[in-house]
């Protein structure tokens, strides 16, 4: 899964984080911010211009790789443009995360993160 390449449609950098997390941009221009603040795994969605993307009917999961441990967490809508992990997780510095997001009527998108 981590070997899958993410194609960037824009040459500029992803947007700055708004929730203290890490931001990744998919080829579509959609931005996802992964935040672990307060012990909760949250994802916030925005378009390339910075406008919130509705998460109401989104389907998503995060795969966390930490050493030899792999966890797959389902995400559920948790606000207008956010998703929250269902269940506990373990993540450490250097852990990798891959978000698979499918918005209604769209193809699945992948977002990659490396935790600081």
pLDDT tens-digit map of 2-25: 444 344 444 455 688 898 999 999
Tell me which residue of 39, 19, 23 sits closest to 31, measured CA to CA.
Answer: 23
**41-72 confidence digits (pLDDT tens):** 999 999 999 999 999 999 999 999 998 999 99
pLDDT, average across residues 22-46: 94
In angstroms, how far is the first alpha carbon of the chain from the final one?
20
- pTM, two decimal places: 0.86
CA 39/CA 25 separation, integer angstroms? 23
């Amino acid at each position: 899964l981590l070997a899958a390449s993410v194609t960037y449609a824009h040459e500029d950098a992803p947007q700055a984080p708004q929730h203290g997390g890490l931001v990744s941009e998919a080829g579509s221009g959609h931005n996802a911010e992964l935040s672990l603040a307060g012990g909760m795994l949250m994802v916030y969605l925005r378009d390339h211009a910075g406008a919130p993307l509705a998460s109401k009917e989104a389907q998503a999961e995060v795969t966390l790789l930490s050493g030899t441990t792999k966890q797959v967490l389902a995400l559920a809508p948790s606000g207008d443009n956010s998703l929250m992990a269902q269940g506990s997780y373990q993540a450490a510095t250097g852990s990798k995360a891959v978000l698979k997001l499918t918005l209604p009527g769209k193809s699945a998108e992948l977002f990659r993160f490396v935790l600081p």
